[in-house]
Amino acid sequence: MNKSKILVIEDDPAITNLIRTTLDTQDYQYHTARTGSAGLMDAVAYNADVIILDLGLPDMDGVEIIRKIRGWSTVPIIVVSARSEDSDKVEALDAGAEDYLTKPFSIDELLARLRAALRRRQLDDTGLAPQESVYRNGNLSIDYAAGCVYRDDREIHLTPIEYKLLCVLAKNTGKVLTHNYILKEVWGNAFSADASSLRVFMATLRKKIEENPATPQYIQTHIGVGYRMIRQ
Assign 180 a pLDDT band (cuts: 50, 70, 90).
confident
Handedness of CA 225, 91, 170, 50 (dihedral sign): negative
If asked whether residues 171 and 109 sit together in one domain, one would say no
* β pairing state of 219-222 and 140-143: unpaired
If asked whether residues 158 and 218 sit together in one domain, one would say yes
What pLDDT is attached to residue 185? 83
pLDDT above 50 (res 133)? yes
If asked whether residues 13 and 122 sit together in one domain, one would say yes
pLDDT in tens, 189-226: 655 557 778 888 899 999 999 999 889 999 999 988 99
Whether residue 176 contacts residue 170, with contact meaning beta carbons closer than 8 Å, is answered with no
Assign 127 a pLDDT band (cuts: 50, 70, 90).
very low
- Domain harbouring 162, CATH code: 1.10.10.10
**With 0-12 CB in 10 A as exposed, 13-18 as middle and 19+ as buried, what is 128?**
exposed
If asked whether residues 9 and 116 sit together in one domain, one would say yes
Say whether pTM exceeds 0.85.
no
What pLDDT is attached to residue 195? 73
Assign 126 a pLDDT band (cuts: 50, 70, 90).
very low
What's the domain count of the chain? 2
Write phi, then psi, for 136 (nearest 5 degrees). Answer: -130, 135
Contacts of 23 (CB under 8 A, 6+ apart): 6, 8, 30
If asked whether residues 118 and 140 sit together in one domain, one would say no
- Domain harbouring 103, CATH code: 3.40.50.2300
What pLDDT is attached to residue 187? 78
Report the mean per-residue pLDDT for the chain: 87
Of residues 79 and 145, more confidently modeled: 79
